[in-house]
Copies of this chain bind each other. A is one copy, B any other.
Amino acid sequence: MPQTSTSLPRRRLLTGSASALAAVGLASFQSHALAQAAPAAAPAAKPLPGFASFKNADAVIVHSSTTIETKRSAFGTSVITPSNQLYVRNNLPTPPESIVADRDAWQVQIAGVKQPRQLTVRELKSMGLETVTMVLQCSGNGRGFFPSKPSGTQWTVGAAGCVVWSGVPVREVVKALGGVADGLAYMTGTGGEVLPAGLDPKSVIVERSVPVAAMQDALLAWEMNGEPISLAHGGPLRLIVPGYTGVNNIKYIKQLAFTAKESEAHIMSHGYRISPPGSKGDPSQPSVQEMSVKSWINSPLPEDGAQAPGLVQIHGVAFGGMNGIKGVEVSTDGGKTWKAARLVGPDMGKYAWRQFVLQAQLPKGSHVLASRATDDKGNVQPETRGENQSGYNNTSWADHAVTVNVA
């Protein structure tokens, strides 16, 4: 198992988790811990897993049976990422198809409200309706650009997409149940995955807490991109917390609880923490939650081969996490000089990404193309990544730059 000199304490922890999983016959099982323990694999053409067989194999990179990335070259300029190209990252094995056989019968327990209740999707559908477009991005998107080679899936840009969700606003459900019980500061979602036997449930269950304020824009969603949410993406019901990284958007949600404290599940208490390099995750460190301003170029790319000299439309995507996008600059000289790009296509709200384009003349030679976004609060995408042990939240424009040849 490859390791750096800084990873020893982490490795001891992970080896323990992996052994526990192996002991219960889940050697191929993708808990957060095991995904992190696996060596970084070189991209290879693996088959699509059955639950994701609807994906376009030409548009994705299959890292493992639970981690599938959109190819950078497959992001078009249509704002919305089609479902068959959207990334997948599951922390547990996908539940059986039977849970989407009668979608409206799926039940979710609403707790920590004045009148707690079990509600079916059928009931939720009568309680309200909203549609939100948002960037869904894995916390580890961009991990592959960390020179420290953190363990875990080596995502570059494609563990992200912009998708449309429909469902009932959480605030409407809460209002109908009398409001949040007094003094509860967190909204905690619990996934409905089948937990492997023989392990402490807390060590594997997908349960995440976000500040209660995130309730305002959150949905209990049953539709994605115009279709009932597929099993791959969390159907029949998923908690959508706009602006928060993927893991906070609980799939197959079976409980939505307002709680006094954050969940004690391992995935919350120790997983997805911004840990200093060489340290392991603990509850004192910042949790990976709200996304920050970020952009990248999707065309041209080195994999397109040499470009002919002349006019080129440099395009890509930009998003602000919790904020809308004010503008994007593009550099064709590795960041020495910048020009304002043009935003194209519809603005689908502050949680969506924008497409940007800069028309440029590229003479013969090698060109380092970079993009740098500014959100509507004035936050500018940084040049450098924030170093952390697990390779989370990489927003560095330098890391996302591409070098193209014009010949």
The chain B residue sitting closest to A56, CB to CB, is B227
> Is B78 a contact of A346 with CB atoms below 8 Å?
no
Contact assessment for B78 and A164 in the assembled complex, using a CB-CB cutoff below 8 Å: yes
A side interface size, CB within 8 A: 46
Chain A, 348-363, CB within 8 A of any chain B CB? 348-349, 352, 355, 357, 359
Q: How far is the CA of A126 from the CA of B315 in the complex (A)?
A: 11
Partner of A82, one of B76, B79, B83, B349: B83
Contact of A226 with B by CB under 8 A: yes
B348/A346 in contact, CB under 8 A? yes
Q: What's the Cα separation between A315 and B125 when bound, in Å?
A: 11
Copies of this chain: 2
Distance of A346 Cα from B130 Cα, bound (Å): 10
Does A128 count as interface, using CB distance less than 8 angstroms?
Answer: yes
What's the dominant secondary structure at chain A's contact region? mixed
Known contacts A126-B311, A311-B127, A346-B131; is-contact A82 B166 (Cβ 8 Å): no
- The docked-state distance in angstroms from the alpha carbon of A128 to that of B314 is 10
A24: Cβ under 8 A from any B Cβ: no
Any chain B CB within 8 A of the CB of A344? yes
A78, B355: Cβ atoms under 8 Å? Answer: no
In Å, the complex CA distance between A346 and B242 comes to 14
Mark interface residues in A306-320 (1 if CB within 8 Å of B CB, else 0). Answer: 000011110100000
Q: Is A279 an interface residue (CB 8 A)?
A: no
Q: Please give the residue numbers on chain A whose beta carbons come within 8 Å of chain B beta carbons, in ascending order.
A: 56, 59, 75-85, 125-133, 164-166, 223-228, 310-313, 315, 344-349, 352, 355, 357, 359
Q: Closest 3 CB pairs between A and B?
A: A131-B345, A78-B226, A78-B164
